[in-house]
Amino acid sequence: MPEPRFECVPNVSEGRDTAFVERCAATVRAVPAVALMNAHADPDHHRAVFSFLAGASAVEDAALGLAEAALAAIDMRRHHGIHPRVGALDVVPFVPFAPASMDEAVALARRVGSAIARRFEIPVWYYGRAATRPGRESPRPLRRGEYEGLAARLATPRSSDDTPDDGPARFDPRAGAVLVGARDVLVAFNVWLDRDDHDAARAIARAVRESSGGLPAVQAMGVRLASRGVSQVSMNLLDYRRTPVPMAFDAVVAEARARGLGVARGELVGVAPRDAFAGRSPASVGLADFTDALLLETYL
């Protein structure tokens, strides 16, 4: 039997310091038997996303090593970016691959979350399949008010979502909080418009996301990439079998054209399964520089 393997995709609140991003990548690479598949940083989102794969013990060691590097370096009191976040180490999701089970991924997520809570004395919430309460399928409800609202949430809880699952219910102004989860494969895919039109990007995001009646299993937000002078439709494809990358890309293109806009490029954050492209070429969805290093199957 092959060894059970898990993907871990920590998102940290630093996307501008390239030396820091490389230190984090080196921390992951230093753990034996861990494959660092991708490290993606963005200065406007002010966020870095690391994707690595290993057996349970190794992936746990790599996740905790990355947590230590991020929490030692990032001070949330100085952090401002366009992506919602609650802490320096914002989210730490785990994804199982056969023969690993989702139950094993849940146990892994809660083990890592508990270790982070104890070691760094910060609040931890569990989401996705690791959630302890209904309504936490995504991190969104747990990010209510973001980092700036975290102190008030912890001081005066108004709902169960304001009380952490692990760690102290106190505000750490430097680190914030951490959301740890277990989930299926998620494809993070962005589409850059050909100009800076934030209102249009937001309208396109509303049109394509599931919560507004758009594409199934799609989350989307429209943002400005100030450093690049364009706007972007940033998407999470929660189930690429229901909405593959080409369907999402074509929908954004159609909505952009209806508003007199064009599309400059697509952008993949992390890696994606081959089937997420539904038989289309990566170039057809704006990924002109795509290589097999961005395919999940390359590492599995």
168 with 268, same domain? Answer: no
**Which of 40, 45, 83, 198 does the annotation list as catalytic?**
83
- Whether 188 contacts 95, CB under 8 Å: no
56 with 142, same domain? Answer: yes
Tell me the one-letter amino acid at 54. Answer: A
22 with 138, same domain? Answer: yes
Domain extent, residue 204, equals 187-298
The count of domains in the chain is: 2
Query: What average pLDDT does range 68-91 have in this prediction?
Result: 98
What percentage of the chain exceeds 70 in pLDDT?
Answer: 100
137 with 161, same domain? Answer: yes
- Whether 195 contacts 230, CB under 8 Å: yes
17 with 35, same domain? Answer: yes
- Whether 166 contacts 115, CB under 8 Å: no
177 with 203, same domain? Answer: no
167 with 77, same domain? Answer: yes
Task: Give me the CATH number covering residue 123.
Answer: 3.30.990.10
Task: Give me the CATH number covering residue 283.
Answer: 3.30.70.670
Which pLDDT value is given to residue 272? Answer: 98
Query: What average pLDDT does range 218-225 have in this prediction?
Result: 98
Average pLDDT over the chain, rounded to whole? 97
pTM: 0.96
Which pLDDT value is given to residue 1? Answer: 65
Which pLDDT value is given to residue 97? Answer: 97
Q: Is residue 45 annotated as a catalytic residue, yes or no?
A: no
206's tokens: 């509303």
What digits encode the pLDDT tens for the residues 167-215? 999 999 999 999 999 999 999 999 999 999 999 999 999 999 999 999 9
Task: Report in angstroms the alpha-carbon separations of 177 from 37, 193, 229, 236, 253.
Answer: 26, 33, 31, 22, 36
175 with 195, same domain? Answer: no
- Reported confidence tier of residue 3, pLDDT bands at 50, 70, 90: confident
- Reported confidence tier of residue 4, pLDDT bands at 50, 70, 90: confident
Which pLDDT value is given to residue 99? Answer: 95
154 with 244, same domain? Answer: no
What digits encode the pLDDT tens for the residues 91-102? 999 999 999 999
What digits encode the pLDDT tens for the residues 252-291? 999 999 999 999 999 999 999 999 999 999 999 999 999 9
21: CB partners within 8 A, 6+ apart: 14, 15, 39, 41, 48
116 with 145, same domain? Answer: yes
What count of other Cβ atoms lies within 10 Å of the Cβ of residue 32? 9
| Core vs surface per residue 133-162: b (16+ CB within 10 A) or e | eeebebbeebbeeebeebeebbeeeeeebb
8-state DSSP, 149: G
- Given 152, 182, 212, the domain boundary residue is 182
- Given 182, 213, 242, the domain boundary residue is 182
- Given 147, 182, 217, the domain boundary residue is 182
106 with 219, same domain? Answer: no
202 with 289, same domain? Answer: yes
First to last CA, the chain: 14
Query: What average pLDDT does range 31-37 have in this prediction?
Result: 98
What digits encode the pLDDT tens for the residues 123-162? 999 999 999 999 999 999 999 999 999 999 999 999 999 9
Phi, psi values for residue 261, rounded to 5°: -115, 160
Cα dihedral 198, 203, 208, 211, rounded to 10, equals 110
